Copies of this chain bind each other. A is one copy, B any other.
């Protein structure tokens, strides 16, 4: 029996994606080349270009989790505590050198290429934001958060500040910082007292 070409092809694809991830972590996006990926994956450059038009496209594909988005957010019944846990995890991720390098690489691609950027946001970011909105909806049902909250703005209020500080390196990203942002964002999302 001859080897199954579909299976062999899938093996090459996976080898390319693994090589891309490893190189991203090792040398960063700036030093990533199609040649380097081909060499590490043990394939020809043409094999890569058969599936992906650019270095950005193969990088992006290599980062989409194969097993779908992460699990739901914790729900202890205290939305502020749960969001602190989430933001502490985000801060830890930004402080992990190879993940931070990778995220900057993604950010540059998003700025450079609106089409790739849109796909990246839809497949990598939105699923995470949706999980957060799910948790906020649960807190709306229990009355912890305002019923008329704009959930898209709410998630931006939560992640936007961390993102801003990370990108601009204006101050350290500490666990205490994550707690402060979570507390302030939740204060903005609670039912607001009538004023004056």
A interface list, Cβ under 8 A from B = 30, 104, 107-108, 110-112, 114, 117-118, 121, 125-126, 129, 150, 152-154, 156-157, 159-165, 167-171, 177, 180-181, 184-185, 187-189, 192-193
What are 15 A-B interface contacts by the 8 Å CB criterion?
A108-B108, A110-B169, A111-B167, A117-B169, A125-B168, A125-B170, A126-B170, A129-B170, A152-B170, A154-B184, A157-B188, A159-B160, A187-B187, A187-B188, A193-B193
Residues of B within 8 A of A187 (CB): 187-188, 192
Q: How far is the CA of A114 from the CA of B101 in the complex (A)?
A: 12
Chain B: minimal CB distance from A75 (Å): 19
Partner of A107, one of B111, B125, B170, B177: B111
Chain B's nearest CB lies how many Å from the CB of A101? Answer: 10
Q: Given known contacts A125-B170, A126-B170, A152-B170, what 17 new A-B pairs fall within 8 Å (CB)?
A: A30-B112, A107-B167, A108-B111, A110-B167, A117-B168, A117-B169, A118-B169, A153-B181, A156-B161, A157-B184, A159-B160, A160-B160, A160-B161, A160-B165, A187-B188, A187-B192, A188-B188
Q: Majority SS of interface residues in chain A?
A: helix
Residue pair B104, A169 in contact (C-beta under 8 Å): no
Contacts of A129 in B (CB 8 A): 170
Q: Which residues of B contact A154 (CB under 8 A)?
A: 184
B169 touches A165 (CB 8 A): no
Docked Cα-Cα span, A107 to B192, in Å, equals: 35
State the Cβ distance, A27 to closest chain B Cβ, in Å: 14
Q: Which B residue sits closest to A149, measured CB to CB?
A: B184
